[in-house]
Amino acid sequence: MLNKVLAMLAGPKIRPEDLTFAQAREILDRASDEAKRELARISKAPEILAYLSKDLKGDIRALVAGNTSTPREVDLDLASDVLDEVRVQLARKIARLLPGLSNKEQTRIRELTIKVIEKLAADSLPRVRQIVAEEIKKSADVPKAIVLDLAQDAEIAVAAPILEYSPLLSDDDLLEIIATSEVEGVLASIANRDPVSDNVSEAVVATLDIPAVTALLANQSAQIRAETLDRIVEHAKNVDEWHKPLVFRPELSIRAIRRIAGFAASSLLEILSEKHNLDDETRRILKGKVSERLQKDDRSRVEEPKEQIWNAVSAAAQNGSLDDEYVSNAIKADDRSRVVLSLVALGRVPEATVERILKSGSAQVVTALAWHCNLQMRTAIELQKSVAKIAPQALLPARNGVDFPLSPEQMISQLELMGVEHKQA
């Protein structure tokens, strides 16, 4: 293919294989940008690729950066290119070349490759660092210093792949990151590792970070001591996200099981009773709690008149207590009318529209409504799960554990589809 391109450029008087580099360079100077792009993409000739890497057209340099035949010395120069896309293409390629460079005769090329990765891992553009992190996250062939720098990056999108997957991070490394990092999402990324040691689990739990502890409990490869679980149980009463994964943990002590019986839903208590090898006394306690919870659920189904609920919601709005906690409590009590009327009051949206949104089955529009009502993403997730009854696989999760995953423009667009006008402050 390369010879064919050069033949087209050189004409019939000279064979491509007879071209000197000086002649090829003269031909390239006269070539069209389209021909240069083709050469940048397919060429395996080091001199031609080196020459094209200096081209004024950024897209040509980007094709050279993505070419696996480009010499490492050229890659090292391209790692400082002023055009972001050049460095992005280089990042996508470079880490994939490491596994094949383990032979002694490849030592020099390997050293140059690592220099390129090191340079890209320190790039000012988060997207470049993120691509590098994704490419090397499971690799044991890169220097640990590069991995540690990426693991402690200020951007969670960069740090997360390394924190969750890198085999080069020791428990001591993870414990230090847990103790020092202030980046949202770092703890949850560590909690998702396979496996997580009991010491690391204990450090994660000590932070009482809700998304991180939730991830840890759901991670069946995480080793969690019974004492650590006891500590989670002490704080779990008001954290619904912890209830279900807690009952599935095999390390629960009898003391923890009895405490969980004091706040978990009746359906979870039944699972708890079936899953664990319990003594007769604990089974009796659980059976009594299930009966008690079912009676309480039956009583809660007797709803107040709508007018009375609206008066209570309006009063809460006037005294400033109509907030996330108010709505969350209504959700936990399965008081749908109070939830709907709270959203009506907070968002100044007609009740019929709120009902239409909650019955839409769309996690995006339910999330947008919560944002419109100035509620937190945590409440938006509760609305998706417990009120809109959206399937687990279709839920819209938070970004970085707490942030709305959609941009304001995206949420405004979702609201407009439902006839809701959002006026930005």
Give per-residue pLDDT as tens, 366-402. Answer: 999 999 999 999 999 999 998 998 877 788 988 887 8
Task: Please report the pLDDT score of residue 34 as a whole number.
Answer: 85
Task: Please report the pLDDT score of residue 18 as a whole number.
Answer: 46
Structure tokens belonging to residue 14 = 């000279």
Structural domain containing residue 311: 306-417
Task: Tell me, yes or no, whether 64 lies in a domain.
Answer: no
CA distances from 83 to 77, 114, 156, 405 (A): 12, 21, 24, 29
Q: Please give the backbone phi and psi of residue 399, each rounded to the nearest 5 degrees, phi first.
A: -95, 130
Cis peptide before 250 (omega within 30 of 0): no
Please measure the distance between the N-terminal and C-terminal CA atoms of the chain and give it in whole angstroms. Answer: 59
State how far the Cα of 86 lies from the Cα of 61, in Å rounded to an integer: 6
For 151-179, what is each residue's pLDDT tens digit? Answer: 999 999 999 999 999 999 999 999 999 99
Structure tokens belonging to residue 186 = 């770092």
Task: Tell me, yes or no, whether 378 lies in a domain.
Answer: yes
Task: Tell me, yes or no, whether 341 lies in a domain.
Answer: yes
Task: Tell me, yes or no, whether 131 lies in a domain.
Answer: no
Query: Would you give the distance in Å from CA 139 to the centre of its chain?
Result: 20
Task: Please report the pLDDT score of residue 117 as a whole number.
Answer: 93
CB 265 within 8 A of CB 289: no
State how far the Cα of 192 lies from the Cα of 214, in Å rounded to an integer: 10
Task: Tell me, yes or no, whether 370 lies in a domain.
Answer: yes
State how far the Cα of 85 lies from the Cα of 82, in Å rounded to an integer: 9
Structure tokens belonging to residue 86 = 């050049």
Band (299; pLDDT cuts 50, 70, 90): very low
Query: Poorest-confidence range of 16-25, 245-254, 261-270, 278-287?
Result: 16-25
Q: Check whether 301 has a pLDDT greater than 50.
A: no
Q: Check whether 224 has a pLDDT greater than 80.
A: yes
At a CB cut-off of 8 Å and minimum separation 6, what does 78 contact? 53, 61, 64, 65, 70, 86, 87, 90
Please count the structural domains in the chain: 1
Task: Please report the pLDDT score of residue 35 as a whole number.
Answer: 80
Task: Please report the pLDDT score of residue 16 as a whole number.
Answer: 44
Task: Tell me, yes or no, whether 163 lies in a domain.
Answer: no
Q: Check whether 190 has a pLDDT greater than 80.
A: yes
Q: How many CB atoms within 10 Å of residue 407?
A: 9
For 125-156, what is each residue's pLDDT tens digit? Answer: 999 999 999 999 998 888 999 999 999 999 99
Sign (positive or negative) of CA dihedral 77, 79, 80, 86: positive
Task: Tell me, yes or no, whether 217 lies in a domain.
Answer: no
Task: Please report the pLDDT score of residue 266 as a whole number.
Answer: 60
Question: In residues, how long is the chain?
Answer: 425
Task: Please report the pLDDT score of residue 268 as a whole number.
Answer: 66
Band (240; pLDDT cuts 50, 70, 90): confident
Q: Check whether 222 has a pLDDT greater than 80.
A: yes
Task: Tell me, yes or no, whether 383 lies in a domain.
Answer: yes
Q: Check whether 104 has a pLDDT greater than 60.
A: no
Q: What is the mean pLDDT of residues 88-97?
A: 86
- CA nearest 419: which of 339, 360, 376, 378? 360
Structure tokens belonging to residue 123 = 């790039």
Band (279; pLDDT cuts 50, 70, 90): low
Band (333; pLDDT cuts 50, 70, 90): confident
DSSP 207-266: HT-HHHHHHHHH-TTB---HHHHHHHHHH-TT-HHHHHHHHT-TT--HHHHHHHTTTS-H
Task: Please report the pLDDT score of residue 273 as a whole number.
Answer: 66
Task: Please report the pLDDT score of residue 58 as a whole number.
Answer: 93
Band (298; pLDDT cuts 50, 70, 90): very low
State how far the Cα of 108 lies from the Cα of 125, in Å rounded to an integer: 28
Task: Please report the pLDDT score of residue 17 as a whole number.
Answer: 44
Which is higher by pLDDT, 288 or 414? 414
pLDDT, averaged across the chain: 84
Band (274; pLDDT cuts 50, 70, 90): low
CB 343 within 8 A of CB 349: yes
What percent of the chain clears pLDDT 90, i.e. is strictly above it? 52
For 31-71, what is each residue's pLDDT tens digit? Answer: 778 888 888 888 888 888 998 999 899 999 999 999 998 99
State how far the Cα of 262 lies from the Cα of 239, in Å rounded to an integer: 13
Q: What is the mean pLDDT of residues 268-291?
A: 62
